[in-house]
Structure 1
């Protein structure tokens, strides 16, 4: 994507200049992989804005990455001390963003490059909100030499689905029959898979916990990795074929297993849902925060591990799982953490915290919020206006 963005700079520049002859184009917004297109906006005489769809922790890491890289003499995973970013919880090097774990890779070099380009933006828009990351939000909101102001404009989440009503009715009907806050939702996202061994441990752990659960099962990775972020890594076989023999029959009175997909927003919003085993992808994290559902953090790849650190040690809305040296989470640990979340004192603590964040998220678009302040700043500056009323006033994204 980054290479393609660079290749398209001349075409984008030409398109922007052409648009300006017919419309009042007032700004250009690039996503996190398109920062090189700031050059096109600058050549067209437009202000440039970066939309960063994940959190302030990851943005801070990216902004500081060129400096960190210049002083780093080893791999992140070899660091003796955690990485301390201003206003952020300390992140162990092994938990840092997975594309940064091999400093010799082309991906790593592109990430450093993006960190440099981000600083060329006139402002950065982040899909987060102050209350979930208060200290770093305060720091990044204030511009400093060589770094633009940052505006948390979240939580931005998808609220609907294109899947037909009939296909999503079964698990919701089942939830309707369960007591309030009694069901643990288990899902590792649309791109996460586990090995057969780890699937077995999850199944037996849920069974040992004696708690109600709704588990979205995907077939294990054919490659045999502990986790995969490849959407085609999932076996094409029926996911239920990989479950332990007799598991569904033994747990049918208190558990439901669905194949590959569930209407996540509706599940999290359901009054029966009381917890979420979450891979800590940022979209899923915001969805569970908006609904006030506490988390058992089970990160797999990308920025999910550092998200898990922030959610457990910073925001205080997640419990962490202990892993063996080979990375497998054993059934006893799963059962213990599930019971703690659903019935224990630690579960009550994270539930209180996420309830407070739910209320803060609901206030995110009210007068006085960062999003509204951003809109006023753009309006008063005669620049980009969110939700522009004038049909001839255009923001290019």
Structure 2
């Protein structure tokens, strides 16, 4: 939606096509769509007619193939919608990349909006070409490093869980197939800026990245940070932060959708480590994973007195604040009192922390977050890793030690300096002559080169299948 908001300024009409919002039974997402639509009167929103027998989706190992199958079934609905308006071009989110088939059928240019990093896109462009290979499948390689062109060695265990499945499984085939469709588009807009990911961007532009294949143009147009329609009420945690010294608070938050959570044992280890560190903290806690209950309910109310170490809340009263379920992450990161961020390494969270100038402690949980961790700790130099996440338990001593490292040590000060430099780079990217501004202008120039641009009443539909 941040991309869509920029297009009317350049004379384009914008239409947003959504699949049925009920497939995830997510009332929060539906409310967000309604709020955003109300805040953007210049943009038209269209919910595509439903398909027969739509699957109800749950967050498990089968989510990706089921979701992609659902989107595939919506392609005919998308075809009808595009036929009625004949747009200049279409932009789709990464999971909707197979919609390029519809665009090609109608002679419409199709672009991806890749909402993860350029480094991840460089890896994803190569991975489908690496099988078959002697080891059989990625899952059998474990932590063995896998060499990718112009990228740091990637332990196979850090790939998407769907990629670690049997190569003959439907989950594996569907996942790899979706990556191939991304490369069939006319170009890819990436939510990043060049100075943050110089190595990943260079890989994508190098003809050796995927042998025998010229990748479509890549436009680094980010970072897109923040919401279109902000909440009006100020969260109580921000009031608490107002009373804390500058750069004194460690913020712990592991994602807004709650697709994963920590065990009871892990929550207690975090609590002990935070208490022993002696530092101020703001911690967003979700109910723990209960292996006996599937699917996991991310909205369950956590019982803090039961979950955390005995007397923890009382002993840390004043220097610590525990918030249930959710906090306004970007507002917290931008607050003068926040000095470090313990994150699950989702790309939105990474960009929010970078643009706020806050160093990070990596604790990846799912999806491409493990891959992000490698780039954050290595090439970008904006984070340190919490050891133990891969074994399923980060010990209290590790929590204490890494918090002290970032908040007290010379290494922590150097980390902060690098993040601050990238913060300035993010701002510069959108200034006149900045890399992201130039990339966006090039994207518009490529769209404008279409032969039928003069046709009146046409626009750029934004195909957004999910948040």
TM-score where L is the length of structure 2: 0.77
C-alpha contact (below 8 Å) 1:279/1:297 kept by paired residues: yes
Quote the Cα distance in structure 2 between the aligned partners of 1:368 and 1:206: 44
Q: Secondary structure at the match of 1:346?
A: helix
Q: 1:394 to 1:138 in 2, by over 3 A?
A: same
2:175 paired with 1:111: yes
Quote the Cα distance in structure 2 between the aligned partners of 1:334 and 1:384: 54
Quote the Cα distance in structure 2 between the aligned partners of 1:258 and 1:324: 22
- Of residues 164, 167, 188, the one that matches 1:124 is 188
- Of residues 181, 184, 197, the one that matches 1:133 is 197
Quote the Cα distance in structure 1 between the aligned partners of 2:457 and 2:134: 49
Q: Secondary structure at the match of 1:286?
A: helix
- Of residues 267, 281, 297, the one that matches 1:199 is 267
Bigger mean CA offset, 56-65 vs 177-186: 56-65
- Of residues 48, 56, 60, the one that matches 2:110 is 48
Q: CA deviation at 1:9?
A: 2.1
2:285 paired with 1:223: no
Quote the Cα distance in structure 2 between the aligned partners of 1:382 and 1:112: 28
Quote the Cα distance in structure 2 between the aligned partners of 1:149 and 1:325: 35
| Alignment correspondent of 2:331 | 266
Bigger mean CA offset, 79-88 vs 283-292: 79-88
Quote the Cα distance in structure 2 between the aligned partners of 1:324 and 1:26: 46
| Alignment correspondent of 1:87 | 150
- 1:23-172 to structure 2, matched below 5 A, reads 25-71=87-133, 73-79=135-141, 81-104=144-167, 105-141=169-205, 145-159=213-227, 163-165=231-233, 168=235, 170-172=236-238
Quote the Cα distance in structure 1 between the aligned partners of 2:97 and 2:178: 7
Q: Structure 1: 5+ residue runs without aligned partners?
A: none
Q: Secondary structure at the match of 1:49?
A: strand
CA offsets per residue over residues 210-239 of structure 1, 9 Å max, x none? 1111111111112279xx9x6625644434
Q: Secondary structure at the match of 1:69?
A: coil
2:462 paired with 1:394: no
Quote the Cα distance in structure 1 between the aligned partners of 2:335 and 2:298: 31
C-alpha contact (below 8 Å) 2:194/2:220 kept by paired residues: yes
Quote the Cα distance in structure 1 between the aligned partners of 2:325 and 2:446: 48
Q: Structure 2: 5+ residue runs without aligned partners?
A: 1-66, 463-467
Q: 1:14 to 1:325 in 2, by over 3 A?
A: closer
| Alignment correspondent of 2:64 | none
2:303 paired with 1:238: yes
- Of residues 379, 382, 387, the one that matches 1:317 is 382
C-alpha contact (below 8 Å) 1:143/1:149 kept by paired residues: no
C-alpha contact (below 8 Å) 1:222/1:234 kept by paired residues: no
Q: CA deviation at 1:269?
A: 0.4
| Alignment correspondent of 1:344 | 409
Q: CA deviation at 1:95?
A: 1.4
Q: Secondary structure at the match of 1:193?
A: coil
CA offsets per residue over residues 142-197 of structure 1, 9 Å max, x none? 6784420111111112246654515x1x2112111111111100111121310000
Q: 1:98 to 1:240 in 2, by over 3 A?
A: farther
Quote the Cα distance in structure 1 between the aligned partners of 2:195 and 2:336: 24
C-alpha contact (below 8 Å) 2:91/2:113 kept by paired residues: yes
Quote the Cα distance in structure 2 between the aligned partners of 1:278 and 1:160: 23
